[in-house]
Each structure stands twice: as C-alpha cells, then as structure tokens.
Amino acid sequence: MTEDFLGKPESVYGAAIHAGIFGTDAYLYDRQMFVDRVCGAWNTQINNYYSCPTEAHEDAAEALHELYVMYREFMSICPCGKKGAFSSMFVALAKGDLDKAFGEFGKAKWPIVTMLAEERERRRESTTASCS
C-alpha cells in the first residue's frame, strides 16, 4: 500500500477489512463508532504518514457503513459453508471500489437466498406431508 493510495478516501475500505471490522456486529447500530473505528484502522496502517483522516476519508467510512450493516445482517442467517462466497466483495473493497463491492455482495447473496428459500420450502412441504 502506498502513501499515495492512503491519501485517497477510498483507502479506508481496505483498512476496515484488515482490521477485522467486518467480522463483528459491534457497529451495527452506531454509525459514528463505526466511522471512528474505520478511520482509526486507516490511521494506524503501516506506511501511513498522514496525521489524521480528512473529511473525505470520514465520508468514505460513513458510506461503507451501509454495506457493513447489510453484510453483518446477512451473515446472521448465512450458512457457515457459504460465507466464502463474499471474497469478491472484499477484493473490490481492498481496491477501493465501493460500488463494485455492493454489486459483488448482491451476486454472492442471491444464490444463497435462493438456496435458503428452497430449503425452507422443502421443510415446509415435508412438514405438511407428515401432517396429512
């Protein structure tokens, strides 16, 4: 990671990933705490010679909160074996592309949603059949 990239607001996305922020539900209901944690992670990266995040960095961290909430809420119902499907989302974030990360989230999420709906339908049908 270069100093030039760290000067760009979107560099906070990778910092959030590497700090493990996407691995906890701690910031679901506190956007400001999320922004502070992301900016803190950005500020403590190796080779970051910037003294503090700019307002643009903070705005980028705030924009990331929506994806974080969607991801964490989905992880609460996602089967463990399917959680790796989101790797492309994290790659897009590491490259600083939030829009692409949202798209990758959707691409990974919908096949899992379909699978969960099919499983629920099979269970409902088997319950209905056993009651007959």
Q: Comparing 82 with 20, which gets the higher pLDDT?
A: 20
Question: Up-side HSE of residue 62: CA atoms within 13 Å toward CB?
Answer: 8
User: Which residues make Cβ contacts (< 8 Å) with residue 13, sequence separation at least 6?
Assistant: 60, 64, 93, 94, 96, 98, 101
Specify the pLDDT at position 3: 58
d(CA 48, CA 7): 9
pTM: 0.86
- Whether pLDDT at 1 is above 90: no
Half-sphere exposure of 52 (CA within 13 A, CB side): 4
User: Is 132's pLDDT higher than 70?
Assistant: no
Per-residue pLDDT tens for 21-58? Answer: 999 999 999 999 999 999 999 999 888 888 889 999 99
Average pLDDT in the 47-72 region? 94
CB burial class (10 A; 0-12, 13-18, 19+) of residue 19? middle
pLDDT band at residue 79 under the 50/70/90 scheme? confident
